[in-house]
Structure 1
Amino acid sequence: MSRGLSWFLLLAALFGFLALCVLLFIPMLLESSIFRPELERWVSRGVGRSVSIQGLVKVSLVPQIRISLSGLRIPASQGFPERDLVRIDSLQLEAPLSHVLRNGLKPRFISLQGLHLVMERDREKGFGWPETPGKGKKRDGSDASQLERPAPLRLPTPLLGLLSEVAIQISEADLICVDRSNQRQGRITGMSLSIGGNPSDGPQWIRAQGDIQGHPFTLQGSLQASPLAGAAGKLLLIELAAKVGGRLEGSLKGQIRSLGPSTEADLQVRVEPFSWQPLLMAVGYDPKGSFMERWQQVSFQGNLMLSPGSFQVQQAELRADDSLIRFSMAAGKGSRPGLMLNLETEELDLNSLFQASVGSKQRKRNPRAGGLKPNEHTKAPAGPKLQSVALFPLSGSAMIHRVLLKSQTFEDLQVSYRFEEGVLELQEIRVKLEGGELWGSGSVNFHGPKPYVHFDLRTMEVQVGPVLQRLAGTFFLEGRMGSHWDLEGPWEGDLDQAALTWKGQADILLKDGGINGVDLSKVSRSLGLAGDKKENQKARTPFSSLVAHLGLEDGTLKVSKASMQNKDLRILAAGRADLLEKSLDFRLEPELGSRQEGQEGAVLVVPLWVEGSFSHPKIHPDLAGIRKKGEGKLHLSIPSTKELKEVFRNFLKGR
């Protein structure tokens, strides 16, 4: 019995001595400079980058495992704006021995002090760490030394488990985002982050604070993890609230599901009304000159859904001042990656989006209309590319219940579109307009020095009078319009300038209308004597139909093949209107008289010249052009001899 006890005590002492040696030897081995290269290789394999440890390494195994590292560096590639991608002054990892025996080398506590983290945003390649230059040649023969797509950050443990199972303490951290395409950097400085609590008993709390480009921010909330019912995964409930610069307040609430290597999220985001212009300036975007410049208060709420290879926003509402925009969007990474965006809003004031029109004296006529050949409007005209083109295809639809443009209200505007490779295709445009409808298609080409637009539009049953009154300030013409317009030209943000630089053509049919301000039948019968102004203001030329072909080029509207008809009068017309000088030059050929049924008859053609300005047109007869058409009796009520003498006397006096 005594011998057995002796052996037991001896073995216990031996194991105790060996354990003590291990507890002393392992820390000494890890802390020695001999083991430093192996430790650096082990850490480098974990994060996928070359890591150097330039400071001290301290390891202790009792009362719990604790590893302290200082002076960690992940150097950046040569030519990168920052010297280091990651720099950590002090890193400390802690875990109870029992936890390590059950879960492997997964810490329960992480502390980082003096963290300096740099990521890269590339307009074409994405967001992440800039790829380390390779060596030699790729399979396709290209130089592998060129920078590749930014690589994602690799962590030694899944992010979901890191957030839900590990207490984290970060202090004095600087986060930098580099965009080499426009030489811009975004910075979060002086950040501190704390995630802690007792995950086995309840949620972990999370707190953070820092400074974004001079704007202080705070973040607080909770995280709670639980096993995913019916699957070998994990469910993380998240609830966060944030404040930025005293202007922005928002919240995020939802759940994140982890199923093996994939992660899905369903989140509700809400941003309270805030003044966002200072924040846009802080992140490097200047809203000056864009429609967003006029937005003072902005708020947002919506549901975000994320899964591998896709991103969705559902039931989203963006409120800008008094404007409410409802939208949904989806993005994917399939064989043809793209973004789908559907919008709906009650009202859009286009007057606020266009530049103020300059006076006619300041506007210049384009020396040539330019333009593209038919069916070539989607090709890029010569010229430098605009920098602001989409990174990936964009498609969707828009529904705007009221559109305001120069006091004109368009109702229920519907647009389906696609934007790809710098060309916006308006696949369908449909809008209610003054009792009728306008529909068609178009395109906007953003290549070249200015956007180039093309529209193919049609109208049906549109009351043209109110449209002209609101858009052009005149009510000289009325009727129900059916038309087909084909227009193209550069867009400079000014509707008046577009009339001078665009080219195109149109076919118009007006029914049951009239020309206000003049009685062409009376003018023709009096050989140009129109009467006084009061009579002219009340005068009207009714017609049952008016047909015309219009051509627009270099600021001149040419009218050909125009005819107007009613039961007593038929008028043929041709001429031009100078949109820059706002002047008229037309020749009208009214046909007076009619052929009686069953009888031969003739009509009298009385040509009229219409000249002068849009606001004060002058009408006078072409006496030499008066002629008779047809044979037989002329059924025409003409002025008496006394009236004719008075007409010629007034005409010779220039009245």
Structure 2
Amino acid sequence: MNKYLKWSLIASGTFVALILLAILIVPRVVDVNSYRPQIEHQVSKATGRPFVLGGELDLSVFPWMGLTLSNLTLGSPEGFDQKEFITIKRFEVRVKVLPLFSRTIQVKKFVVDTPQIFLVKNTTGGTNWDMGQAQPPTPKQQPADKNTPAGEKAGALPFKALFVDEFAIQNGRIHYRDLGLKVTKEISNVTLTLEDLNLEDPIKIKFSAIADGHPLSLNGLVGPIGKEPGRGMIPLDITLKALDEITMKVKGGINDPITTPGFDLDLELSDFSPRKLLTALGNSTPILTADPRVLEHLQLNLHLKGDPGAVTVSNGTLILDDSTLTFSARAKDFSKPDLGVDMVVDKINLDRYLPPEQPPGSPVGTAKSPAEPSATARAKIDYSPLRELAINATLKIGSLVAKKAQLHEVQMTIKGKNGRFNLDPLSLDLYQGTIVSRADLDVTTDTPRVNLTVNAEKIASGALVADVLEKKIIQGQLDSTVGITLAGDTPGAIKKSLNGKGNLKFTDGAIIGIDIPGMVRNAKASFGLGERSTTQPRTDFAELILPFTVTNGLVDITGTALNSPLLRVTAKGTTDLAAETLNIRVEPKFVSTLKGQGDTKERSGLMVPVLITGTLDKPKFSPDLKSMVQSILPDEEALKSLVKDGKIDKEAIQKTGEDVKQLFKGFLPLKGNKE
């Protein structure tokens, strides 16, 4: 027995000695560089592009199995002026041999030195990184290996442990050119190092690069990745820094990235200046805003969780200058997006972020607006994405300034799917009153349609108009109901499609800029026929009612009435919204004395029609002299009898009624008349 054991040990020792001798002798006897042509041929055959091993191959076997390659070049396909696709100055890997027998991989060094990638897109859209569309055949499912150790899961790593002392990519470079757009981008000084690379401990990551001249870095911990990489939760705790302005922290984990990938992350974007960021990006045009102090602070925090089927955002907080936005969101079924959003804004002044107003007389301010493009010239809007969308979103704003209007407690909810959406409600408080509105949008066809209702109560119209238009036009409490429909997606089409009706009611106010009592009392001055008054014209009222109907963009205001203890005014006519023209006739009637408006005379029943013409931007006011004369002297012969040889017959006028006397006093003063 001892004899057999002795010979067995001798045989085993001899076998091990022969293996060690072969390991030491083979690298010195075999010229590995003689295999370079075969290696180059096989790589070229597999990739379909030239491959060159420009430097020497260095192979070691014991105690470290090592391979060193230098000056590797993988070329671009034919047809590209950039001949190189990938170049590597030096590649080195060293793995300890003996631990391999126990299925443990110990890597002493894995270094890629000066890798360069040249990406080119030519003028026809072709790219040099396209490896072709041919795919290798899908391997057939193999039956489970009966020799698989008990307790080892299918798909597990073929080794038990992994340890890497040095993993580094040094001096990397990525160069991109788009010949069609004439765009060039470059990422240089790419450096990546991994420390403590193993399966059971967190891996330290250090990455840095220069992107188009701007620094970029990423540092942190990833893992442990576990003995089944790609399965289970992989923790993350990394910090990204860019452009010396942005710092973003990401903490959480990625779950089952191979089988059913998902993520659960906290994101924190530290406070930075968007203005400075754009400057760092090389934006030569400064950002011009009405308030130059905005866009100086932006900060974001949120929790992000998702998988291939859905993504949710919770605990979101966005701080922009003086405004704070809290939000949450969800999205699922990405082929037909189903979105849910909830946002709350404490306060925001949108006017501060608009371009600054041009000074009066500037070329930009006086330039004519370009004509609306024709239907054939204008690109057709594709509404199919909206037909695929489902949404349920709410927005609340505590304080909002828009177009100088000051709004409070703004609330809106939008819901819809299959191309039909409704905004219900849209409510807000403004100028001591409230507005409650509802809108329905239908994009099931290529012509969008909107149904809109608006109800306003107790709005101080004077302050609202003064803030928005910076003009004093009207005063009084406004109550209104409006219901209209419209169709189209251009201003012209929308104006022509307007249909509906509404009613505006102003109480205890005044029309600023029109002096209807003065038009009667001093008609020549009021209509520019005589010396004007130095006081600002206005017409006070107890009630102003403006009912209207809209038919294909033509607004009819028949039934409009202004009432006060001293004055009654009715109006009728139309406004063409498409042409922006006015054609309105106003008929005032005094029912009592005009005390308080500069008159002490009794004027009962005197009618002075007023015509309003022109455009919405420049309305014109003039007396309807023809109608006024015809109402008092319907007989043309009677009028001729009062004027003889171009002169007024005073005696004939004295024999007429009071209305005729007042008419001639107002416009054709009698000789000796001191009024």
Provide TM-score, normalisation by structure 2. 0.66
For residues 49 and 427 of structure 1, the distance between their equivalents in structure 2, rounded to whole angstroms, comes to: 58
Q: Summarize the alignment of residues 75-474 of structure 1 with structure 2, pairs less than 5 Å apart.
A: 75-78=75-78, 83-103=83-103, 109-117=109-117, 130-134=129-133, 167-176=166-175, 182-197=181-196, 199=198, 202-225=201-224, 227=226, 233-258=231-256, 261-277=259-275, 279-280=277-278, 295-308=295-308, 311-329=311-329, 334-336=334-336, 343-345=343-345, 346-350=347-351, 352-353=353-354, 356=357, 362-364=366-368, 382-383=377-378, 397=393, 399=395, 401=397, 402-411=399-408, 412=410, 414=412, 416=414, 430-432=426-428, 434=430, 435-437=433-435, 439-441=437-439, 457-462=452-457, 463=459, 464-472=461-469, 473-474=471-472
Alpha-carbon deviation of 1:481? 1.9
CA drift of 1:195 comes to 1.2
Report 1 or 2 for greater relative contact order, CA contacts < 8 Å, sequence distance ≥ 6: 1
Distance 1:256 1:285 in 2: 36
Is residue 648 of structure 1 aligned with residue 664 of structure 2? yes
CA pair 162-227 structure 1, distance change in 2 beyond 3 A? closer
CA–CA distance in 2 between the matches of 1:340 and 1:85? 44
- The letter of the residue matching 1:275 is S
Residue 472 (structure 2) pairs with residue 507 (structure 1): no
Flag the 1:7–1:480 CA change in 2: closer, same or farther, 3 A: closer
Q: Which residue does 1:56 correspond to in 2?
A: 56
3-state SS, counterpart of residue 296 of structure 2? coil
Q: Does the CA contact (< 8 Å) of 1:438 and 1:457 recur in 2?
A: no
Give 2:94's aligned amino acid.
Answer: E
User: Given that residues 222 and 240 in structure 1 are in contact (C-alpha distance below 8 angstroms), is that contact kept between their aligned partners in structure 2?
Assistant: yes
Name the CA shift for 1:469/1:267 in 2 (closer, same or farther; >3 Å).
same
Q: Tell me the CA shift for residue 92 of structure 1.
A: 2.1
Match of 1:34 in 2: 35
Counterpart secondary structure, 1:468: helix
Total equivalences in the alignment: 583
Rounded to whole Å, the distance in 1 between the matches of 2:422 and 2:396 is: 15
Aligned CA-pair RMSD? 5.8
The residue type equivalent to 1:404 in the other structure is V
Instruction: Say if 1:228 and 1:234, in contact at 8 Å, map to a contact too.
Output: no
Deviations 1:231-276 (A, max 9, x none): 9934332222343343233322222233653433222222222234
Ranges in structure 2 where 5+ consecutive residues have no aligned partner: 136-154, 527-531, 593-604, 634-655
Question: What displacement does 1:173 show?
Answer: 1.1
In structure 2, the CA distance between the partners of 1:251 and 1:30, relative to structure 1 (3 Å rule), is farther
Q: Mark the CA change 1:519 to 1:335 in structure 2 (over 3 Å): closer, same or farther.
A: closer
**Fraction of identical pairs, as percent:** 15
Q: Which has the larger radius of gyration?
A: 2
Contact 1:524/1:590, CA 8 A, preserved across alignment: no
Match of 2:511 among 497, 504, 516: 516
Q: Is the 8 A contact 1:527 1:647 kept in 2?
A: no
Question: Structure 1: any 5+ residue segments left out of the alignment?
Answer: 137-155, 373-380, 446-451, 492-497, 595-602, 629-639
Could you say if the C-alpha distance between residues 427 and 516 of structure 1 is closer, same or farther in structure 2, counting changes exceeding 3 Å?
closer
Q: Which string of whole-angstrom CA distances, capped at 9 and with x for unpartnered residues, describes residues 134-153 of structure 1?
A: 479xxxxxxxxxxxxxxxxx
Query: Within the alignment, does 1:564 sit opposite 2:561 as a pair?
Result: yes
Match of 1:16 in 2: 17
- Separation in 2, partners of 1:444, 1:280: 39
Confirm or deny: 8 A CA contact 2:23 2:62 kept in the other structure. Answer: no
Cα deviations by residue, 1:192-232 (Å, 9 ceiling, x for unpaired)? 22211264785332223332221223433233416599x99
Q: Which residue of 2 aligns with 1:574?
A: 573
**Distance of 1:363 and 1:424 partners within structure 2:** 39
- Superposed CA offset, 1:138-186 (max 9, x none): xxxxxxxxxxxxxxxxxx999xx99997852121011346667744344
Aligned counterpart in structure 2 of residue 624 of structure 1, from 624, 629, 636: 629
Query: Aligned with 1:561: secondary structure?
Result: coil
Aligned in 2, Cα 1:334/1:575: closer, same or farther, shift over 3 Å? closer
> Which is further off, 238-247 or 516-525?
516-525
1:624 counterpart SS class: helix
Alpha-carbon shift at residue 564 of structure 1 (Å): 1.9
Deviations 1:559-603 (A, max 9, x none): 5435226598461322559999x9976311346779xxxxxxxx9
SS at match of 1:383: coil
Are the equivalent residues in 1 in contact too, given 2:544–2:560 (CA < 8 A)? no
Q: Between 355-364 and 311-320, report the one with greater CA deviation.
A: 355-364
Q: For residues 497-549 of structure 1, what are the alpha-carbon distances to aligned partners after superposition, in whole Å with 9 as ceiling and x for unaligned?
A: x8999656463301353542489885687695899958875641332632124
Query: Is the 2:559–2:572 Cα contact (8 Å) retained in structure 1?
Result: yes
**Greater displacement, 294-303 / 162-171:** 162-171
Measured after TM superposition, the shift of residue 425 of structure 1 is 8.3
